Amino acid sequence: MLLIGNEDPTLRLLVNTVIMGMICGGAFALAALPQAVVGFMVPLIAGSAIFMITDAGPVNGIFAIMFGILTAIIMAGSLLHSKMLIRRVAAELEAREKTSVIELLLKSFEENSSDWLWRIDAERRLRDVSSRFAEAAGTDQKELEGASIQKLLKKLQSLGTAAAKDLLLNIRARRAFKDVTIPISLGGQQLWWRVTGEPCFDETGAYIGYRGVASDVTDTKLAEQRLSYLAHFDPLTGLVNRASFYDLIADHFAQSRSGSCFAVHFIDLDQFKAVNDTMGHAAGDRLLEEIAARFSSVVAPPDTLARLGGDEFAVLQRSGTSTDAAAALAQRLIDASVLPVEVNGDIFRVSASIGIAMAPSNGADGETLLRSADLALYQAKDAGRSTFCFFHTGMDDIAQERRLLGSELASALEAGELCLHFQPLIAAGTGEPAGFEALLRWQHPTRGLVPPSTFIPIAEQTGLIKAIGGWVIEEACRTASSWPEHLKVAVNLSPAQFEGSSIVEAVRSAITEARLDPQRLELEITESLFIAQPEDVLDKLRQLKGMGISVAMDDFGTGYSSLSYLWKFPFDRLKMDRSFVSAIEHDRIACDILRAISSLGRSLGMSITAEGVETEAQAKFLQGIGCDQLQGFLFSRPLPVENMPVYFLQPVIRRHRGEAGAQPDAGLFLKTGNQARSPL
């Protein structure tokens, strides 16, 4: 302070300037240490205060005040600068700590995840390549480090793909992108990467490259492709499925010229259910694969073959198709299907029934055209199967008639419109009735007598056959209980009566309610009964036979495996099919078949019945080969219940007319039959 008060102004100015420079420099030099700033500045401020008190000079006093203010400002500024410096250092330390944590987490993520991180610089060269990235790319880290991203995409055979072009375009435009799926080829395998990235900039805003994450999504992509395939193709045969086939027809209608002709074939395999149910679904699947391969060899592009489900197939025959071309294709499909098929060493034979609809004459849209083809398929099956039919307008009327009959049949039983007629079973040796076969009839209030061939298939399709079949058994047993005790009653059973119902309990209840001797009841079945669940059917038949009921095989000789069923189950009777009987007088092969059946039956201890006998020559031949019973219009048509008393009294009436000495033989009933001969 003494120097400050020196009389020499020059010296005083110099000293003050030096002192002020030392004060400012010291304050800023010690800014990082707040305590040192305080220790340095407080003595100066205190000295200024003392000088101001001890020196009363006006100039020195003013100078001291200014000096104190300046030092105070310098100290405050130094303290503020120190505080800001400390905060910045703390922030930097915190940022470094966060960066370390992030790097640690990213490293852990990459090591333990199926994803990997990637980074490129401003020249689009790979940087900081991780081991996970190198492994996914099938190369070495050192080789990838510094390589251009174009070089990597070229190595992975992805450079020219649309996805890779989109990726590079985004990078050039410095746009962020997400979930870009790139196909790659690695080690001969087709893989897919999903890539996400964003551009990076430094503190000054300068572009420094890209960073992002990538992952292998091959499994997901394959699953998506599989789902897409299943949505459009049949997994068993690889053919177009139902949904895609319907879409193809709709597209073809939309794309075809006005009046353009094309065909749709609906195909259903005959006898397939027998294979599927008796040999198992695995054998059925192999059979379908073989049939699909055969159909594929017949159907050539631009035509399309599809599997609609089960044993149903379809063909879209393209524009320009004529009815002749459609018929030729249908016949080739049938010819391909009828060839024997070997499955697990077993030989199977199936065939195909086909319904054909022509566009646009049979339908102006897909739904109508497919419905027309379906109706034609039903007609083909009714025509005997293993054939094809074209749709015609009358089929709509037939389908409508069937639906109406089905609706009316549902109430026919409750309305008492169903009834039984009984056709005699004549003992071949004596010509006398040994029993009667119960035949179902529908006396419709407006249609009259509806033949069984019309309504029985409808009853089976709608499921009404179970209720109707139960009523037939009950009514037949009740009626037979009033006959002479030596007469039996035969009842036909439908395969549907064995499905999901207790036929054994139904029969037991019927004979108990009617008080009928079980030995007077004979149940007739066909080979089709064994198609579904043969072991279950055989078990139920054994239970019925154990009750004393007779079991007969109807329509024998028309199936393909009758002998196997005769070996599995001891039938009481075989009924020769009417198709053989009607050929007796003009077909020697039919006669030989009938002789063989009769011989087989006798050797197995079974009785033989011939149905459909209409002439004396047929009756004599059948008697000669050893048939036990004869049935047909030669003897009598089926009789309603109210006419049966007259039938029973005929021998008494004949004796009363002086014919008591006549030998009872088939001729006695022949006259009755000739008088009453009429269609069913």
Decide which of 159, 193, 224 is a domain's last residue: 224
Q: Which residues pair with 353 in a beta bridge?
A: 268
- Cα 529 to the center of its chain, rounded Å: 28
Which residue, among 390, 678, 655, 552, has the nearest Cα to 668 in the 3D structure? 655
Asked whether residue 96 is assigned to any structural domain, the reply reads: no
Asked whether residue 404 is assigned to any structural domain, the reply reads: no
Same domain, 587 and 670: yes
Cα gap 562→527, rounded to integer Å: 7
CA distances from 175 to 140, 160, 194 (A): 29, 20, 17
Q: Which residues pair with 351 in a beta bridge?
A: 270
The residue-averaged pLDDT of 480-488 equals: 92
pLDDT of residue 658: 56
Decide which of 171, 195, 224 is a domain's last residue: 224
The residue-averaged pLDDT of 573-599 equals: 88
Same domain, 337 and 281: yes
3 state SS of 598: helix
For residue 114, the tally of other CB atoms under 10 A from its CB is 11
Angle among Cα 71, 72, 77 to the nearest 5 degrees reads: 95
Token match 């108990």: residue?
512
Neighbouring residues of 312: CB distance < 8 A, sequence distance ≥ 6: 266, 267, 268, 269
Token match 């015609």: residue?
392
The CATH number of residue 239's host domain is 3.30.70.270
Q: What is the maximal distance between C-alpha atoms in the chain?
A: 189
pLDDT of residue 676: 33
pLDDT of residue 35: 65
Asked whether residue 397 is assigned to any structural domain, the reply reads: no
Same domain, 263 and 370: yes
Asked whether residue 322 is assigned to any structural domain, the reply reads: yes
Report whether pLDDT(111) > 60.
no
Cβ atoms of 48 and 68 within 8 Å: the answer is yes
Report whether pLDDT(97) > 60.
no
Cα gap 273→605, rounded to integer Å: 32
Helices (H), 146-207: 149-155, 162-172
User: In this structure, what token pair is assigned to residue 128?
Assistant: 């900081």
Token match 């009327």: residue?
397
Return the percentage of the chain with pLDDT > 90, whole number: 28
3 state SS of 118: strand
Which helix (H) or strand (E) is 42 found in, with range? helix 34-54
Count how many residues are written for the chain: 680
Q: In this structure, which long-range contacts are made by residues 597-605, counting pairs with CB atoms below 8 Å and at least 24 apart in sequence?
A: 597/556, 597/557, 598/625, 598/626, 598/627, 599/626, 600/566, 600/574, 601/574, 602/626, 604/566, 604/570, 605/570
The residue-averaged pLDDT of 550-560 equals: 76
Cβ atoms of 144 and 152 within 8 Å: the answer is yes
Same domain, 271 and 350: yes
The CATH number of residue 160's host domain is 3.30.450.20
Confidence of residue 670 (pLDDT cuts 50, 70, 90): very low
Report whether pLDDT(603) > 70.
yes
The residue-averaged pLDDT of 395-423 equals: 80
Same domain, 544 and 636: yes
pLDDT of residue 41: 65
DSSP E strand stretches across 217-282: 262-270
For residue 283, the tally of other CB atoms under 10 A from its CB is 17
Which helix (H) or strand (E) is 126 found in, with range? strand 126-127
DSSP 331-362: HHHHHHHSS-EEETTEEE--EEEEEEEEETTT
Identify the residue with better confidence: 569 or 172. 172
Same domain, 376 and 284: yes
The CATH number of residue 657's host domain is 3.20.20.450
Same domain, 469 and 322: no
Confidence of residue 622 (pLDDT cuts 50, 70, 90): very high
Asked whether residue 398 is assigned to any structural domain, the reply reads: no
When mean pLDDT is compared over 11-15, 410-414, 499-503, the highest value belongs to 410-414
Same domain, 336 and 482: no
Q: What one-letter code names the amino acid at 43? A: P
User: In this structure, what token pair is assigned to residue 551?
Assistant: 């079991």
Decide which of 392, 421, 455 is a domain's last residue: 392
The residue-averaged pLDDT of 509-520 equals: 94
Q: For residue 333, what are the domain limits?
A: 234-392
Same domain, 37 and 186: no
Lowest mean pLDDT among 26-30, 171-175, 389-393: 26-30
pLDDT of residue 44: 65
pLDDT of residue 677: 30
Cα gap 535→556, rounded to integer Å: 20
Asked whether residue 402 is assigned to any structural domain, the reply reads: no
Cα gap 297→566, rounded to integer Å: 39
Asked whether residue 311 is assigned to any structural domain, the reply reads: yes
Report whether pLDDT(673) > 50.
no
Token match 């030392």: residue?
22
Angle among Cα 655, 660, 664 to the nearest 5 degrees reads: 100
Cα gap 227→209, rounded to integer Å: 38
The total number of structural domains that make up the chain? 4
Token match 């599997």: residue?
307
Tell me the whole-structure pTM to 2 decimals: 0.52
User: In this structure, what token pair is assigned to residue 548?
Assistant: 């004393």
pLDDT of residue 22: 65
Same domain, 161 and 275: no
3 state SS of 6: coil
Q: What is the sign, positive or negative, of the torsion defined by CA atoms of 333, 334, 340, 343?
A: positive
C-alpha dihedral (602, 669, 437, 616), degrees to nearest 10:
50
3 state SS of 13: helix
Asked whether residue 377 is assigned to any structural domain, the reply reads: yes
pLDDT of residue 31: 58
pLDDT of residue 668: 36
3 state SS of 616: helix
Same domain, 72 and 120: no
The residue-averaged pLDDT of 281-291 equals: 87
pLDDT of residue 2: 42
- 570-580, pLDDT tens digit by residue? 889 989 888 88
pLDDT of residue 507: 93
Same domain, 378 and 480: no
